[in-house]
Amino acid sequence: MIYKNLIEERKSVRDYKKDTLPKNILDKIYTFYENTERLVPGIGLSLMIKNQAEIYHQLNGTAGYEGIMIKAPHYILLLSEKKDHYIENSGYLGEKISLKALESGVNTCWITFPDSNKVKKRLLLDTDKEITAIIALGYDSAETRTVDKTKVGGNYSKSKLKIVKNNISTRQDIKDIVFIDRWNKTASYEDLKSRGLLDALNYARLAPSSLNRQPWRFIIDGEKVVLTIKDDNQIKNYDEKIDIGISMLYFEAIVSQTLKKVDWTFEEPDKDYNIPGNYKIAGYCTV
């Protein structure tokens, strides 16, 4: 996958055409799930692709933002055994699958849900695994949105990377989310470029997040890239961990294609970065 192109095109779609997807596309998504790398190896997973008749009415009024279920021709269900960082792993994998679907022209949207047991009961699923993702899947019924290409390119110092058409959200400037050595020591574009990290961090800030809160901040400490996330009482622990997994994917995907292969660890570096009390370290990688 060419991750830069897919991340630029990525959007959450809530209105879908009625058309079902061809079997070859559904098979391609499932094959990708089976063969792609995970964030945390060794966690047992299952993936189901269900049609509208099997999901929509059963979860309408329960799943979805404020109980408003998204109506789509298909849904991806990701189920996981409970192990350390299994939710972050599902965020990483679920978003990776969404980008793979987009490569075939298929759109997706993460669907919120109250808790795994309630969803399993409504869907009559008998499994010890926990549902960790519900993702709508289908063709966008509206005009295609794209990233404003004039905002993207080599001169990131002038880039705001706004998503255009039917999406009022904007992304924070890279200088507001990336620090050098310690909290609030702003990273210059020139420094990030010389370290080979400008591309990866620039695209990492396009990662979707719960309520579009853009909760991530990065600290560059020598060869370490430390990911911190805002500790928000309004966000469920599940949503926070999904956001962590997605942001790890976006950074890793670009840096692995532009610089070197990296792996995240959830340990905290043995160093005080003067991080404020409403943020916490989610993990780090070495580049």
3-state secondary structure 197-253: CHHHHHHHCCCCCHHHCCCEEEEEECCEEEEEEECCCCCCHHHHHHHHHHHHHHHHH
Instruction: Using the predicted structure, report yes or no on whether residue 168 has a pLDDT greater than 50.
Output: no
Average pLDDT across the chain, whole number: 90
* CATH class entry, domain 149-286: alpha beta
Collapsing DSSP states into helix, strand and coil, what is residue 33? helix
pLDDT band with cut points at 50, 70 and 90 for residue 165: very low
* Residue 147 near residue 181 (C-beta atoms within 8 A): no
Per-residue pLDDT tens digits for 50-94: 999 999 999 999 999 888 999 999 999 999 999 999 999 999 999
State the pLDDT at residue 149: 39
Same fold for the pair 3-138 and 149-286? yes
State the pLDDT at residue 150: 34
Tell me which fold the domain 3-138 belongs to.
NADH Oxidase (3.40.109)
Per-residue pLDDT tens digits for 84-136: 999 999 999 999 999 999 999 999 999 999 899 999 999 999 999 999 999 99
Q: How far apart are CA 79 and CA 129, in angstroms?
A: 6
Q: What is the CA radius of gyration of the chain?
A: 19
Per-residue pLDDT tens digits for 210-254: 888 899 999 999 999 999 999 887 778 999 999 999 999 999 999
Residue 10 sits at φ, ψ, to 5 deg, of: -65, 135
Instruction: Using the predicted structure, report yes or no on whether residue 5 has a pLDDT greater than 70.
Output: yes
Domain map (residue ranges) of the chain: 3-138, 149-286
Strand runs labelled E in the chain: 45-51, 74-80, 107-110, 130-138, 178-180, 216-221, 224-230, 264-265, 279-286
